[in-house]
């Protein structure tokens, strides 16, 4: 699935479009940046409420396909500027992280496990 496929299904607002053709292979929900940095799979859609510059930096380090800000969490201007500079896709949805994560999981296909071992 591509990042662009998430926009309509999540009723998402585009904060930054870097590469909406980028592949999304899994979904990851977490707000603890150090945890995400060490555990989020590359090419995932990351659901969080952390809309700051550090979240953008973590997404680059973890090679995340898109940050999706849940519950209309704000993305501050320094984060937007850094996302533009670093080529990070950022979306925002009014959905809670769990619900948005389930939608992404379903879009990936019913045979995809929630957790990869």
**Domain that includes residue 75, residue range:** 4-108
User: How confident is the model over 25-29, as a mean pLDDT?
Assistant: 96
Task: Find the CATH number of the domain harbouring 56.
Answer: 3.40.1390.20
Q: For 37-77, write each residue's pLDDT tens digit.
A: 999 999 999 999 999 999 999 999 999 999 999 999 999 99
CA distance 89 to 69: 11
Structural domains of the chain, count: 1
Domain contains 33: yes
Q: Give residue 114's pLDDT band: very low, low, confident or very high (50, 70, 90).
A: low
CA distance 21 to 24: 9
Domain contains 34: yes
CA distance 81 to 16: 9
Q: Could you give the residue ranges of the DSSP H alpha helices within the chain?
A: 4-9, 33-39, 53-61, 77-86, 97-108
């Amino acid at each position: 699935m591509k990042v662009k496929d998430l926009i309509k299904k999540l009723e998402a607002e585009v904060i930054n479009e870097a590469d909406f053709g980028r592949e999304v292979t899994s979904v990851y929900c977490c707000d603890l940046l150090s945890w995400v940095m060490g555990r989020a799979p590359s090419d995932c859609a990351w659901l969080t409420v952390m809309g700051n510059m550090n979240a953008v930096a973590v997404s680059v380090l973890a090679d995340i396909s898109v940050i999706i800000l849940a519950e209309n969490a704000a993305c501050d201007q320094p984060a937007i500027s850094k996302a533009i500079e670093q080529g990070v896709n950022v979306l925002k949805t009014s959905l809670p992280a769990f619900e948005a994560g389930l939608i992404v999981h379903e879009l990936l296909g019913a045979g995809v496990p929630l957790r990869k071992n």
